[in-house]
Amino acid sequence: MPNMDKQETKQKLQPKAEPIDNAVPLESRIHLLTIIGEVEGHESLGDRTKSTKYEEILPRLALIEDDEQIEGILILLHTVGGDVEAGLAIAEMIASLSKPTVSLVLGGGHSIGVPLAVSADYSFIVPSATMVLHPVRTNGMFIGVMQTYRNMEKTQDRITGFIAAHSDITQPRLEELMLDTSMLVKDVGTMLEGEDAVREGLINEIGGIREALNKLKELMKKNI
């Protein structure tokens, strides 16, 4: 009995944890969107290739826009690029969201991954990540070389125009980097490391997950 009395006294002396009224689970306010592997187009890449499917991302973005509980979107990118039209469709939808968006390039944000990275309201890249800029590519047999070339040129203009409109790099400088022949072996283009991407005005800031989340929360407060 004496031991029980001591336990009761100890329990009474211990302060009770007060419930925090303003505590909201992170996942109910911030939606995490990952763009990884290859951006898949109209043809399936198969089970052995890690990919991002536009038919999954686009409806999800529509639901996010309509969900009043979600206040911000954090986009994590580690992609080799992929289908141009699918990538641009996702990028345009991200850019048109009314809710704050922050992107973080991890590992790589290559090719069509570049417009995906800059489509957010604010972008970060880790120091060790890289971004490859190169002209539009295609393969197979062509019927009508000049017509095909003009179509590819228009497609490239759509990409460079979007990137220039959503970042601090100019379209002429972007095209200059895309057509550089001095950096990549057996290829045309430029590979930018983290600090280079920021210096060129492609990405806003060097940073990791901490900086990205802090910036997103800051934008969310301003959006209230």
Tokens of 78: 């580690």
Angle at CA of residue 103, ends 97 and 109, nearest 5°: 120
Helices 145-165 and 171-178: angle between axes, nearest 10 degrees: 130
- Does 134 participate in catalysis according to the annotation? yes
Out of 111, 119, 123, 167, the active site residue is: 111
For 50-81, the DSSP string reads: -EEEHHHHHHHHHHHHH-TT--EEEEEEEEEE
- Does 111 participate in catalysis according to the annotation? yes
Give the separation between CA 210 and CA 50, rounded to whole angstroms: 26
Of the candidates 130, 119, 113, 104, the one whose C-alpha atom is nearest the C-alpha of residue 211 is 104
Is 130 buried (19+), middle (13-18) or exposed (0-12) by CB count in 10 A? middle
Out of 31, 78, 134, 166, the active site residue is: 134
Active site positions, annotated = 111, 134
